[in-house]
Amino acid sequence: MSVLVPPAHLIGSDLQVPCADGLERRYVNLDYAASTPVLAKVWEVVEAFVPWYSSVHRGSGAKSQISTAAYEQARLVVAGFLGASDASVVFVRNTTEAVNVLATALAPHARVLSTPVEHHANMLPWRRHDLRMLPFTSSADELLEVTRDALRSERIDLLAVTGASNVTGEVWPLEPLAELAHAHGAQIFVDAAQLAPHRAIAMADAGIDHLALSGHKLYAPFGAGALVSRVPLEGDPLLHGGGAIKLVTLDDVVWADAPDRFEAGSPNVIGAVAFAAACDTLEQLGMDAVADRERALCARLHAGLDGIAGLTRLALWPVHDERVGVASFTLQGYKAQDLAERLSDEYAIGVRHGCFCAHPLITRLLQVPEAEAQWLQAELRSGREPELPGAVRASIGLGTTVADIDALTGALDELSRRR
């Protein structure tokens, strides 16, 4: 099937790595959910831009003017990629910083409604406000039901949810959630770190007010991310300093408007240019085509994993068709770290292991007893380092092939027979 042909060249796709037996094998990258490789076209854009790189916004020299134009054009490209031509784009380092920027800008004592399945980046920053948590749910319909009930019961200012789980891959029903939020006077924020590389996003059509994403998960790992807001962002900035102000006196400050207010200090111009180049390249590939190709690979991955004796694939919503290319699992007889190391050392397969910055969700999925969870917490507070329960995660992207999927499932099948 032509849909399974890799649609873009990624730097390092033919890398050979040493294995424990002394032989070199082609590296099978199944860790896209953590950081993606670099698109060749992104690298070409960066190489062409670097000679022109300079400070931005207040320089009169030719290089400064060209850099400023490229930096500001990058905002338009990112907004266009997300279907949000009316949005303000604040460049940051990553999704984590974007969430912190928004959390700081919210009015003091704002009420935030979120869920226990979020990445820590979309959980911890909201705790400076009045954070309300929804319960775990077993389906998208149940999520919509409990969200509706929570919004009806009290005033909520912001609903903060993931776009796709970085642990189990479920794509969330963002448009219905946005409709619910708006119907009850709330705004909606979406952590799109795992959604943006895999699915087309149309913020305006879906009614999304704020969204965060990372370049390093979008084939442009040059240290840039963005907070994209379709409603005014006027609160306090996370960082205080030059570039974020209109005027400073000895006892007062007049902040600049967004996005400048939230970009204190010298910005990551090259990162923004790379980020925009990745968005351009993905648009040229066509996000619908990217999604179709991934669905075929994902179906093969899930079918292969489900056929391995002793392997348990983790799912938040077991009956849910729409998932990005992420699969987390455990294999009977192996601890997560040991299994990941065996895959690397013996088969040159790169996966992720641990809790994936989602401790409450992993605790739930692995059915960790409450007594064990409390013991782990006490041990950590005492300065000891107990081994945390965890899983292995395989994640796919633009460079993934059928051969990569089969290499993983074949290796896991072999290992399952050895235990």
Report the sign of the C-alpha dihedral through residues 7, 10, 12, 17, in that order.
negative
Segment 23-80, tens digit of pLDDT: 999 999 999 999 999 999 999 999 999 999 999 998 889 999 999 999 999 999 999 9
pLDDT of residue 59: 82
Q: Which of 266, 275, 278 is nearest to 54 (CA)?
A: 266
pLDDT of residue 4: 52
Average pLDDT over every residue of 9-29: 96
d(CA 2, CA 51): 39
Is the pLDDT confidence value at 352 over 60?
A: yes
Instruction: Indicate the burial class of 231 (C-beta count within 10 angstroms; 0-12, 13-18, 19 or more).
Output: exposed
Is the pLDDT confidence value at 3 over 60?
A: no
Instruction: Indicate the burial class of 384 (C-beta count within 10 angstroms; 0-12, 13-18, 19 or more).
Output: exposed
pLDDT of residue 42: 97
Segment 376-391, tens digit of pLDDT: 999 999 999 999 999 9
Domain boundaries, the chain: 2-30+287-355+390-418, 41-285
Selecting among 279, 298, 355, 357, the annotated active-site residue is 357
Confidence of residue 2 (pLDDT cuts 50, 70, 90): very low
pLDDT of residue 95: 98
Q: Does residue 355 have an active-site annotation?
A: no
Which residues does 146 contact at the CB level (< 8 Å), separation at least 6? 134, 135, 137
d(CA 8, CA 197): 13
Q: Does domain 41-285 have CATH number 3.90.550.10?
A: no
Is the pLDDT confidence value at 129 over 60?
A: yes
Segment 142-201, tens digit of pLDDT: 999 999 999 999 999 999 999 999 999 999 999 999 999 999 999 999 999 999 999 999
The hierarchical CATH code for the domain 2-30+287-355+390-418 is 3.90.1150.10
Average pLDDT over every residue of 82-95: 96
pLDDT of residue 6: 58
Segment 202-247, tens digit of pLDDT: 999 999 999 999 999 999 989 999 999 999 999 999 999 999 999 9
pLDDT of residue 377: 95
